[in-house]
Amino acid sequence: MTPAIATLRVYSTGDLREDGDYVVYWMIAARRTHYSHALQHAAHLCEALGKPLVVLEAIRADSRWASERVHRYVIQGMADNAARFADKGVAYHPYVEPSHGDGTGLLEALAERACLVVTDTFPSHFLPRMVAAVRERLDVRLDEVDGNGVIPLRAPDRDFTVAHSFRRWLQKNVAELWDPPVADPLTRATAGATIPGAVRERWPAFADGSPTGDEPLPAPLAASLAGTPGPIPERGGPAAAREAWRTFWEGKFERYHEDRSHPDDGVQSGLSGWLHFGHLGVHEVLADVLADWDPATARKATGKREGWWGLPEASEAFLDEILTWREIGYIQAFREGENFAHYQSLPAWARESLAEHAGDPREVYTLEQLAESRTDDVLWNAAQRELVRTGRIHNALRMLWGKKVLQWTASPQQAFAFLVELNNRYAIDGRNPNSYSGIGWVLGRFDRAWGPERPIFGKVRYMTSDSARRKWRVKQYLSRFG
Ligand SMILES: Cc1cc2nc3c(=O)[nH]c(=O)nc-3n(C[C@H](O)[C@H](O)[C@H](O)COP(=O)(O)OP(=O)(O)OC[C@H]3O[C@@H](n4cnc5c(N)ncnc54)[C@H](O)[C@@H]3O)c2cc1C
Final residue before a domain boundary, out of 273, 308, 335 = 335
Averaged pLDDT, 264-286: 97
Q: Are residues 356 and 310 in the same domain?
A: no
Averaged pLDDT, 80-104: 98
Final residue before a domain boundary, out of 310, 335, 360 = 335
* Cα distance between residue 255 and residue 318, in whole Å: 10
Q: How far is the CA of 395 from the centre of ligand 1 (A)?
A: 6
Please say if the pLDDT value at position 327 is more than 80: yes
The closest residue, in CA terms, to atom 12 on ligand 1 is 434
Q: How far is the CA of 216 from the centre of ligand 1 (A)?
A: 31
Kindly state whether residue 422 falls inside one of the protein's structural domains. yes
Q: How far is the CA of 209 from the centre of ligand 1 (A)?
A: 33
Averaged pLDDT, 157-172: 96
Q: Are residues 324 and 391 in the same domain?
A: no
Q: Kindly write down the DSSP assignment for every residue of 31-81, as one continuous string.
A: --SSS-HHHHHHHHHHHHHT--EEEEEEE-SS-TT--HHHHHHHHHHHHHH
Please report the atom of ligand 1 found closest to the CA of residue 394: 21
Kindly state whether residue 203 falls inside one of the protein's structural domains. no
* Cα distance between residue 277 and residue 448, in whole Å: 31
Kindly state whether residue 106 falls inside one of the protein's structural domains. no
Q: Are residues 322 and 423 in the same domain?
A: no
Neighbouring CB atoms inside 10 A of 184's CB total: 15
Q: Are residues 328 and 349 in the same domain?
A: no
Q: How far is the CA of 434 from the centre of ligand 1 (A)?
A: 7
Q: Are residues 298 and 361 in the same domain?
A: no
Q: Are residues 417 and 438 in the same domain?
A: yes
Final residue before a domain boundary, out of 308, 335, 362 = 335
Q: Are residues 477 and 409 in the same domain?
A: yes
pLDDT of residue 306: 87
- Say which CATH number the domain at 265 has: 1.25.40.80
Q: For helices 412-426 and 433-442, what crossing angle results, to 10°?
A: 140
* Cα distance between residue 162 and residue 54, in whole Å: 42
Peptide bond into 312 cis (omega under 30): no
* Number of domains within the chain: 2
* Cα distance between residue 386 and residue 423, in whole Å: 12
The closest residue, in CA terms, to atom 15 on ligand 1 is 438
Domain assignment of residue 467, given as a range: 342-481
Residue 253 is classified by DSSP as G
The alpha carbon dihedral of 205, 101, 196, 134 has a sign of positive
Residues with CB under 6 Å of ligand 1 are 260, 268-272, 275-276, 321-322, 325-326, 329, 395, 398-399, 402, 419, 423, 427, 429-430, 432, 434-435, 437-439, 441-442
Query: What distances in angstroms separate CA 89 from CA 75, 79, 116, 152, one per listed residue?
Result: 20, 15, 20, 31
Please say if the pLDDT value at position 4 is more than 80: no
pLDDT of residue 299: 79
pLDDT digit string (tens) for 6-56?
Answer: 789 999 999 999 999 999 999 999 999 999 999 999 999 999 999 999 999
Residue 141 is classified by DSSP as E
Kindly state whether residue 227 falls inside one of the protein's structural domains. no
Q: How far is the CA of 449 from the centre of ligand 1 (A)?
A: 22
- Say which CATH number the domain at 450 has: 1.10.579.10
Average pLDDT, the chain: 96
* Cα distance between residue 24 and residue 18, in whole Å: 13
Closest CA to 96 of 4, 195, 219: 219
Q: How far is the CA of 272 from the centre of ligand 1 (A)?
A: 6
Please say if the pLDDT value at position 159 is more than 90: yes
Please report the atom of ligand 1 found closest to the CA of residue 395: 21
Q: Are residues 477 and 350 in the same domain?
A: yes
Which region holds residue 173: left if phi is over 0, alpha if psi is between -120 and 50, else beta?
alpha
Q: CB of 449 within 8 A of CB of 351? A: no
pTM over 0.85, yes/no: yes
pLDDT band at 2 (very low <50, low <70, confident <90, very high): very low
Please report the atom of ligand 1 found closest to the CA of residue 326: 44
The closest residue, in CA terms, to atom 20 on ligand 1 is 395
Choose one of 322, 393, 395 to mutate for the ligand 1 pocket test, by most ligand atoms within 8 angstroms of C-beta.
395
Q: What percentage of the chain exceeds 90 in pLDDT? A: 94
Q: CB of 428 within 8 A of CB of 230? A: no
Kindly state whether residue 321 falls inside one of the protein's structural domains. yes
First to last CA, the chain: 49
Please report the atom of ligand 1 found closest to the CA of residue 423: 8
Choose one of 320, 405, 434 to mutate for the ligand 1 pocket test, by most ligand atoms within 8 angstroms of C-beta.
434
Q: Which helix (H) or strand (E) segment is 390 a member of?
A: helix 378-390
Query: With 0-12 CB in 10 A as exposed, 13-18 as middle and 19+ as buried, what is 187?
Result: middle
Q: Are residues 346 and 305 in the same domain?
A: no
Please say if the pLDDT value at position 338 is more than 50: yes
Averaged pLDDT, 340-359: 98
Residue 13 DSSP SS3: strand
Kindly state whether residue 399 falls inside one of the protein's structural domains. yes
Q: Are residues 476 and 347 in the same domain?
A: yes
Q: Are residues 292 and 406 in the same domain?
A: no
pLDDT of residue 1: 45
Q: How far is the CA of 20 from the centre of ligand 1 (A)?
A: 42
Averaged pLDDT, 200-219: 98
Kindly state whether residue 381 falls inside one of the protein's structural domains. yes
Kindly state whether residue 464 falls inside one of the protein's structural domains. yes
Q: Are residues 309 and 367 in the same domain?
A: no
Q: How far is the CA of 326 from the centre of ligand 1 (A)?
A: 7
Closest CA to 318 of 302, 306, 304, 301: 306
* Cα distance between residue 364 and residue 354, in whole Å: 16
